[in-house]
């Protein structure tokens, strides 16, 4: 069955540095991958989607890469700020039914001043 | 700000109670989802509705009963729950199943505690 792993439960970095979060998957070849942000007590919020034929996607300070050979996506936040502190989830489509997602456990990012 | 509203935000109930969770979306979407989120675990998909028809029941116990009267409203009826059912229950919507690459829009969830 499909499996998603996010590199660590928690990542702590200093303000201004680049945060890099990892999402690895096994046992299938997804057509796309999504990243979400979740704040405590709130639902996840969609950030970025990257398709299998795209190597990189950018949105403001966010950058996502997608390496289908390594079966890995990297999520970067440049010039990180304390307001970026949250849990970040990666999600991949479930099987052949488009629109349904598997989610990773998430990585809790803390950016300290 | 969210286009998906869930009520109540918090719910405490005994194991023999019956209660319902409500979800409403104002985005004009055709697919709606229920997820369960427990501490340290990934979001677990429970049910999917597409154009009011249930298209997935992900082996959810019968003590959870979904209802989708129209594309904008989704309910989760609860009865005879167990302590392990305590979790955050999230509702989400998207434009429609089969529409690839569509992100899901989540509500802020109902925090459910079973005594």
Cβ proximity of B13 and B87 under 8 Å: no
The pLDDT of residue A98: 57
**Would you call A32 and B100 a contact, using CB atoms and an 8 Å cutoff?**
yes
Phi and psi at residue B65, to the nearest 5°: -130, 115
* Per-residue tens of pLDDT for chain B, all 115 residues: 569 999 999 999 988 889 999 999 999 999 999 999 998 889 999 999 988 888 888 889 999 999 999 999 999 999 999 999 999 999 999 987 666 678 999 999 999 999 9
Name beta bridge partners: A105.
Answer: none
| HEC letters along B16-60 | CCEEEEEEEECCCCCEEEEEEECCCCCCEEEEEEECCEEEEECCC
Chain B residues interacting with chain A (CB cutoff of 8 angstroms): 2, 4, 31, 33, 40-43, 45, 48, 55-56, 90, 92, 94, 96-109, 111
Chain A residues interacting with chain B (CB cutoff of 8 angstroms): 4, 9, 31-32, 34, 41-46, 49, 51, 89, 93-94, 97-106
**Would you call B98 and A31 a contact, using CB atoms and an 8 Å cutoff?**
no
If you count residue pairs, one on A and one on B, with CB atoms under 8 Å apart, how many are there? 66
The pLDDT of residue A47: 97
Question: Cα A38 to the chain's mean position, in Å?
Answer: 11
Give the other-Cβ count within 10 Å of B8's Cβ. 13
- pLDDT single digits (tens) B2-35: 699 999 999 999 888 899 999 999 999 999 999 9
The pLDDT of residue B90: 98
Taking phi first (over 0 means left), then psi (-120 to 50 degrees means alpha), and beta for anything else, what does residue A60 get? left
- pLDDT single digits (tens) A49-106: 999 899 899 999 999 999 999 999 999 999 999 999 999 999 998 766 656 888 999 9
The pLDDT of residue A29: 82
Helix (H, G, I), strand (E, B) or coil at B90: strand
| Token duo for residue A75 | 């999520």
Cβ proximity of A6 and A104 under 8 Å: yes
**Would you call A43 and B94 a contact, using CB atoms and an 8 Å cutoff?**
no
Rounded to the nearest angstrom, the minimum Cα separation between B56 and chain A is: 10
Read off the pLDDT band of A6 (50, 70, 90).
confident
Measured CA to CA, the distance from residue B5 to residue B15 in angstroms comes to 26
Measured CA to CA, the distance from residue A32 to residue A66 in angstroms comes to 9
Read off the pLDDT band of A9 (50, 70, 90).
confident
Name beta bridge partners: B6.
Answer: B23
The pLDDT of residue A3: 82
Instruction: Considering only CA atoms, give the Rg of chain A.
Output: 14
Measured CA to CA, the distance from residue A21 to residue A50 in angstroms comes to 15
Rounded to the nearest angstrom, the minimum Cα separation between B80 and chain A is: 25
């Amino acid at each position: 069955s499909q499996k998603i792993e996010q590199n660590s439960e928690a990542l702590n970095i200093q303000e201004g540095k680049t945060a890099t979060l990892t999402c690895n998957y096994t046992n299938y070849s997804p057509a796309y991958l999504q990243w979400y942000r979740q704040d405590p007590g709130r639902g996840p919020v969609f950030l970025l989607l990257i398709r299998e034929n795209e190597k990189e996607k950018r949105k403001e300070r966010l950058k996502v890469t997608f390496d289908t050979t390594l079966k890995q996506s990297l999520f970067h936040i440049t010039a990180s700020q304390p307001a970026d502190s949250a849990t970040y989830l990666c999600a991949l489509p479930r099987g052949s039914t488009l629109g349904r997602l598997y989610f990773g456990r998430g990585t809790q990012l803390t950016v300290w001043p | 700000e969210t286009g998906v509203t869930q009520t109540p935000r918090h719910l405490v109930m005994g194991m023999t109670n019956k209660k319902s969770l409500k979800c409403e979306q104002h985005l004009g979407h055709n697919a709606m989802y229920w997820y369960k989120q427990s501490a340290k675990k990934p979001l677990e998909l429970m049910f999917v509705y597409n154009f009011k028809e249930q298209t997935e029941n992900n082996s959810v116990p019968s003590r959870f009963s979904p209802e989708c009267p129209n594309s904008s409203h989704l309910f989760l009826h609860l009865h005879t729950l167990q302590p392990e059912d305590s979790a955050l229950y999230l509702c989400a919507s998207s434009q429609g199943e089969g529409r690839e690459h569509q992100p899901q829009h989540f509500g802020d969830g109902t925090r459910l505690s079973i005594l």
